[in-house]
C-alpha cells in the first residue's frame, strides 16, 4: 500500500493530467479496499469507479460501507490528489425514513436484479426483518439477517421506520411450527387468509380458546390454529438446539421439492434446506454452501468420515488443483449412524449414504466430498444465534 502511494505522488508530480495509466493505479487502490471490506458481493456493496473530469478525479458509484469509502478518500487525500466525491452511500435518499422492512408473505422471493424475470437467489419467510438499501420502481434492494443482498418485489414486504420497527421487535409474536398450513379470516377457520410456512412470524393480538388472533406486517388480521403455532418468546426459552432436533427437523422435510434459491418448506435448494433446519434450531446461518463452509469448526480434515457427529454439515464440489481453487457447490447434513447416511436437498430432500455397499449410495457426493463443519456448540461470528 505504501509503495502505491509513492508511485501515485510521482505520477501526479510529473503529469498535469490524470492519464489512463494513472486511472489504472487508482483502480488498484480501489480494488484493495474492495477486497478488504467487500470481498463477497453477495453480502456487501462496494461498487466505486473513477473518471477524470477537468483534471479532477471523480469518484462515482455506491457502497453500503461508509468506512470503506472514507478510507479510499483518505488515501487519495494523503497523496495530494484532487477528487470529487459523488459516491452514494446506502441506504440512499429513495428510502427516506423507511429503513426497515418485514417480509409480508409466507415466502417472499429475492432476485439478482429488480425484475421478476431475474434469477431467484434466495427467499425470506413471513416476518423476516430486512434492512432497506434503495428502491427502484416496484422493487427494493434489501439485506437479510444473514447479510444477503438482493431485490424483492415491493408486494412481498412492508416498509417500517425506526419507531414501527422497534414496536415490532417489542411486540409479542407468534412462530408457526408446522411445515405448511394456513391462517384464516375467521375464528371458525372457514375462510383462508393466507398460507403459512415453518418459522413464519406474526404479531399476536389476542389468545383465544382454539386460536391466536394475529396481525400481519401489512396490518391484515387473521387467525392461526393454536396447535400449529407457539408464542415466539416461549419457543425461544424452551429451544434446546441439539443433534436430535436437527435430525428431527431435517427428516420432517423429506420429500420437499428442490428449488434453486428456495429457503422455505415450499421448496429449497441444498443450502436453503440447511438454513431452514438450523433456523428452527436457533441459528441464522450464511446463505450459500460456499459461505456456510467458512463458518463453524472444521471436522474430518482427512476426509475419512472420522470424528463426524450427527448434525455436522458436509460439503461437496470441485476439489482444488494447481490451476483452480476449490469450488463448493453442495451441502448436506450428516446423520451420524452406522449406515453413513446424510440428508440433503438434491432433486428433493432425501437421504443418501457414503457407503458404497448400500443402494442409497451417492457416487457423486462420495467422489466430490470436500470436508465438514460443525455449528452446534460453536461460537462463530459468521452465524447468528436467535
Q: Catalytic residue positions?
A: 270, 330, 344
Residue 117 phi, psi dihedral angles, 5° rounding: -85, -5
First to last CA, the chain: 40
| Peptide bond between residue 186 and the one before it cis (omega within 30 degrees of 0) | no
Interatomic CA distance for residues 233 and 239, integer angstroms: 10
In contact, 121 and 111? CB cutoff 8 Å? yes
Q: C-alpha grid cell for residue 135?
A: 428502491
* In the block, residue with C-alpha cell 411486540: 171
Interatomic CA distance for residues 316 and 331, integer angstroms: 6
- HEC profile of the chain: CHHHHHHHHHHHHHCCCCCHHHHHHHHHHHHHHHHHHCCCCCCCCEEEEEEEECCEEEEEEEECCHHHHHHHHHHHHHCCCCEEECCEECCCCCCCCCCEEEECCCEEEEECCCCCCCCEEEEEECCCEEEEEEEECCEEEEECCCCCEEEEEHHHEEEECHHHHHHHHHCCEEEECCCEEEEECCCCCCCEEEEEECCCEEEEEEECCCEEEEECCCCCEEEEEHHHEEEHHHHHHHCCCCHHHHHHHHHHCCCCEECCCCEECCEECHHHHHHHHHHCCCEECCCCHHHHCCCCEEECCCCCCCCCCCCCEEEEEECCCCCCCCEEEEEEEECCCCCCEEEEEECEEEEEECCCCCCCECHHHHHCEEEEEECCCCCCCCCEEC
Amino acid at each position: 500500500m505504501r509503495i502505491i502511494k509513492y508511485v501515485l505522488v510521482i505520477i501526479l508530480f510529473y503529469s498535469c493530467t490524470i492519464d489512463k495509466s494513472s486511472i489504472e493505479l487508482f483502480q488498484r487502490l480501489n480494488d484493495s479496499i474492495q477486497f478488504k471490506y467487500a470481498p463477497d458481493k453477495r453480502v456487501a456493496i462496494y461498487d466505486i469507479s473513477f473518471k477524470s473530469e477537468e483534471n479532477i478525479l471523480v469518484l462515482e458509484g455506491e457502497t453500503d460501507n461508509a468506512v470503506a469509502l472514507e478510507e479510499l478518500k483518505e488515501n487519495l487525500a494523503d497523496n495530494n490528489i484532487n477528487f470529487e466525491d459523488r459516491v452514494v452511500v446506502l441506504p440512499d435518499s429513495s428510502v427516506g425514513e423507511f429503513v426497515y422492512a418485514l417480509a409480508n408473505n409466507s415466502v417472499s422471493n429475492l432476485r439478482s436484479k429488480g425484475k421478476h424475470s431475474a434469477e431467484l437467489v434466495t427467499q425470506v419467510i413471513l416476518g423476516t426483518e430486512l434492512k432497506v438499501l434503495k428502491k427502484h420502481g416496484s422493487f427494493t434492494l434489501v439485506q437479510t439477517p444473514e447479510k444477503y443482498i438482493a431485490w424483492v418485489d415491493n408486494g412481498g414486504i412492508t416498509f417500517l421506520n425506526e419507531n414501527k420497527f422497534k414496536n415490532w421487535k417489542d411486540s409479542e409474536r407468534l412462530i408457526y411450527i408446522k411445515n405448511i398450513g394456513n391462517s384464516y379470516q375467521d375464528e371458525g377457520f372457514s375462510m383462508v387468509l393466507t398460507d403459512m410456512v415453518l418459522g413464519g412470524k406474526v404479531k399476536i393480538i389476542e389468545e383465544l380458546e382454539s386460536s391466536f388472533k394475529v396481525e400481519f406486517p401489512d396490518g391484515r388480521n387473521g387467525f392461526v390454529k393454536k396447535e400449529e403455532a407457539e408464542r415466539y418468546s416461549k419457543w425461544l426459552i424452551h429451544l434446546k438446539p441439539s443433534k436430535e432436533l436437527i435430525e428431527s427437523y431435517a427428516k420432517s422435510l423429506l420429500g420437499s421439492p428442490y428449488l434453486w434459491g428456495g429457503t422455505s418448506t415450499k421448496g429449497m435448494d441444498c443450502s436453503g434446506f440447511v438454513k431452514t433446519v438450523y433456523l428452527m434450531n436457533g441459528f441464522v446461518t450464511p446463505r450459500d454452501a460456499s459461505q456456510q463452509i467458512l463458518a463453524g469448526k472444521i471436522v474430518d480434515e482427512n476426509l475419512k468420515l472420522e470424528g463426524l457427529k450427527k448434525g455436522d454439515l458436509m460439503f461437496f464440489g470441485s476439489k482444488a488443483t494447481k490451476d483452480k481453487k476449490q469450488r463448493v457447490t453442495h451441502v448436506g447434513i450428516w446423520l451420524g449412524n452406522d449406515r453413513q447416511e446424510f440428508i440433503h436437498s438434491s432433486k428433493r430432500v432425501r437421504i443418501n449414504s457414503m457407503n458404497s455397499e448400500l443402494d442409497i449410495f451417492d457416487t457423486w457426493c462420495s467422489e466430490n466430498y470436500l470436508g465438514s463443519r460443525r455449528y452446534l456448540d460453536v461460537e462463530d461470528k459468521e452465524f447468528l444465534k436467535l
